[in-house]
Chains A and B, each alone.
Chain A
């Protein structure tokens, strides 16, 4: 059953199960198309009586070594030669497609540890239930998937993850973290991954601009003339008693940013006051 990758539906399945399988398939297909047969064949076992369940477990065991060697081997090989078969003139669109499988060369071995060392010790206990993605308001309107971000961190898919624009779609609303059954500090993981992305140079111009405002004025949103007048009109000091009013305090903030290397990170030019 497992080896054959038989996709025929179990007639005993309820409509709901079928539906959830289909949903699962469509999501997984996007990222790991080769795992689909495994998923469909495993699923019904959960609802069946004990005996078949045990069988499945055994089958799974025997399959395991193969699994760890083979599907992880990734080549974007065209299946062209293999697939000059009887199915080529059938209705399938899948023949001759590039197979996009994850291989060792996509994995940065120490990335998980780097995430842990940066303060997200809990990343390792994620069991991929997907509650986080279900709770995520950005997940409802963008391709951002929290569960994937955590999974890729664990797998060490560093390059792929850091280059992904979608990791910036998190609004840090904590809905995922509040619901996580493992109490994983998910937002910390998001921030740490973004820290590594920033180090790799993936920073939006608008974000860098906010950083440069803090270097220049001590404020991410500095005062303007309209607000100065408004402050005065209600009897407040024109400038708030912050770095705006105390230049020596601004110097402290600037020294801190030089010490941590934030100025270099965002490419701030102290002479021109501009971003490079």
Chain B
């Protein structure tokens, strides 16, 4: 079992602890992650999908051809990348005419999209291919944390094309979080968007932060220790955006933000340095202190 590891942008270029935790985790699980050398931005579905779908599909298809050359399914840990790559793969697979059109573009760089591999999300691969049982065996440091699970939008939607889980009442991420010993706490409008997507964050920060504040308010109301997401862009929105919310609204929110891979890292014995949690905008101190309480500061 092995996967073509698609990095994208925000994870590797802003939050490398997510990448580090993922590489170590797959090593421990004995599953190969092979680099997609020369891959680019997915490209960003908000800007590229909105400006020119042909360009978006062409760059996405080029990335997919790298995995096709490797003969492996794509693994991505970002909902945005998943959306951009999955949608393109799905469309070109179904629509012969569009496939021809995109292949004409790819011919300029000596590539051809064949439609031979799947585009898959990290969380779905862990759940379906690795399985909760095997994952549980690898957990050495259970987490006593109350978690606000944030699904994000493009992991499960559009559900008619993706079909991973029920888009209104999913359980996959909650199960994946709770296997670490943490508890998924229900909160109001849990399935709501973080506000970053569709190019909205760079187009209108005020509107974006209004979304984020509503989500944070609902999480705080429910009383959680941390946020867990499966998308570096949502991650950035809750981390950097939380600071921006504090500045704009005069609040003092400080819910630490973790990608699913980062909490797996902690649960498998990685240090807080390894997951680069202390380089983030929002301090993880309260959550780390609660974890230390349980282990007696080990």
Task: Please state if A169 and B109 are interface contacts (CB–CB under 8 Å).
Answer: no
Partner of A222, one of B13, B23, B153, B210: B13
Task: Please state if A262 and B55 are interface contacts (CB–CB under 8 Å).
Answer: yes
Q: When chains A and B are docked, how far (Å) is the Cα of A222 from the Cα of B106?
A: 23
A window 121-157: CB within 8 A of B: 137-138, 141-142
- Residue B41 lies at the interface, judged by CB distance under 8 Å to chain A: yes
Q: Which residues of B contact A170 (CB under 8 A)?
A: 198, 200
- Residue A253 lies at the interface, judged by CB distance under 8 Å to chain B: yes
Task: Please state if A168 and B16 are interface contacts (CB–CB under 8 Å).
Answer: no
Task: Please state if B55 and A240 are interface contacts (CB–CB under 8 Å).
Answer: no
- Residue B9 lies at the interface, judged by CB distance under 8 Å to chain A: yes
What does the 1/0 interface line of A103-120 toward B look like (CB < 8 Å)?
000000000000000110
Q: Which residues of B contact A240 (CB under 8 A)?
A: 7, 12-13, 19
Q: When chains A and B are docked, how far (Å) is the Cα of A207 from the Cα of B108?
A: 26
With contact pairs A177-B157, A194-B50, A219-B41 given, residues A256 and B211 touching in the complex (Cβ less than 8 Å): no
Q: When chains A and B are docked, how far (Å) is the Cα of A224 from the Cα of B12?
A: 11
With contact pairs A191-B49, A203-B51, A253-B40 given, residues A221 and B13 touching in the complex (Cβ less than 8 Å): yes
Q: Which residues of A contact B29 (CB under 8 A)?
A: none
Task: Please state if B273 and A234 are interface contacts (CB–CB under 8 Å).
Answer: yes
Q: When chains A and B are docked, how far (Å) is the Cα of A194 from the Cα of B51?
A: 6
Task: Please state if A242 and B40 are interface contacts (CB–CB under 8 Å).
Answer: yes
Q: When chains A and B are docked, how far (Å) is the Cα of A261 from the Cα of B199?
A: 20
Q: Which residues of A contact B197 (CB under 8 A)?
A: 171-173
Task: Please state if A178 and B105 are interface contacts (CB–CB under 8 Å).
Answer: no
Task: Please state if A230 and B276 are interface contacts (CB–CB under 8 Å).
Answer: yes
Nearest CB of B to A259, in Å: 5
With contact pairs A198-B50, A243-B39 given, residues A256 and B62 touching in the complex (Cβ less than 8 Å): yes
Q: When chains A and B are docked, how far (Å) is the Cα of A198 from the Cα of B53?
A: 11
Task: Please state if A169 and B200 are interface contacts (CB–CB under 8 Å).
Answer: yes
**Size category, B interface:** 35 or more
Partner of A178, one of B17, B39, B167: B167
A window 231-249: CB within 8 A of B: 231, 233-236, 240-246, 248-249
Q: When chains A and B are docked, how far (Å) is the Cα of A178 from the Cα of B142?
A: 36
What does the 1/0 interface line of B6-30 toward A look like (CB < 8 Å)?
0101101110110110010000000
Give the interface segment out of B112-120, B132-140, B201-209, B220-228: B201-209
Task: Please state if B203 and A168 are interface contacts (CB–CB under 8 Å).
Answer: yes
Q: When chains A and B are docked, how far (Å) is the Cα of A206 from the Cα of B55?
A: 18
Task: Please state if A141 and B41 are interface contacts (CB–CB under 8 Å).
Answer: no
- Residue B256 lies at the interface, judged by CB distance under 8 Å to chain A: no
Give the interface segment out of A45-53, A61-69, A210-218: A210-218
Task: Please state if B203 and A246 are interface contacts (CB–CB under 8 Å).
Answer: no
With contact pairs A234-B17, A259-B105, A260-B52 given, residues A214 and B276 touching in the complex (Cβ less than 8 Å): no
Q: Which residues of A contact B10 (CB under 8 A)?
A: 221
Task: Please state if A231 and B210 are interface contacts (CB–CB under 8 Å).
Answer: no
Q: Which residues of B contact A137 (CB under 8 A)?
A: 192-193, 195, 211
| Nearest residue, chain B, Cβ from A174 | B157
Partner of A191, one of B36, B53, B109, B153: B53
Task: Please state if A169 and B207 are interface contacts (CB–CB under 8 Å).
Answer: yes
Nearest CB of A to B106, in Å: 7
Q: Which residues of A contact B1 (CB under 8 A)?
A: none
With contact pairs A256-B109, A260-B54 given, residues A219 and B40 touching in the complex (Cβ less than 8 Å): yes
Task: Please state if B168 and A172 are interface contacts (CB–CB under 8 Å).
Answer: no
Q: When chains A and B are docked, how far (Å) is the Cα of A4 from the Cα of B197?
A: 48
Task: Please state if B48 and A211 are interface contacts (CB–CB under 8 Å).
Answer: yes
- Residue A220 lies at the interface, judged by CB distance under 8 Å to chain B: yes
- Residue B59 lies at the interface, judged by CB distance under 8 Å to chain A: yes
- Residue A187 lies at the interface, judged by CB distance under 8 Å to chain B: yes
- Residue B45 lies at the interface, judged by CB distance under 8 Å to chain A: yes
With contact pairs A191-B50, A231-B16, A235-B20 given, residues A174 and B158 touching in the complex (Cβ less than 8 Å): yes
Task: Please state if A204 and B202 are interface contacts (CB–CB under 8 Å).
Answer: yes
- Residue A265 lies at the interface, judged by CB distance under 8 Å to chain B: yes
Partner of A192, one of B53, B153, B202, B276: B53
With contact pairs A141-B207, A256-B109, A260-B58 given, residues A195 and B53 touching in the complex (Cβ less than 8 Å): yes
A to B CB contacts below 8 Å, 24 in the list: A119-B53, A141-B207, A170-B200, A172-B153, A174-B158, A175-B193, A178-B167, A195-B51, A198-B50, A204-B199, A207-B46, A207-B51, A207-B203, A220-B43, A227-B13, A230-B276, A236-B16, A241-B37, A241-B39, A245-B37, A259-B58, A260-B52, A260-B58, A266-B51
- List the 4 closest A-B pairs by CB distance, nearest first: A249-B38, A172-B198, A174-B157, A173-B193
- With A192-B53, A257-B55 known, 7 other A-B pairs at CB within 8 A are A168-B204, A174-B154, A183-B160, A233-B276, A252-B109, A256-B62, A256-B106
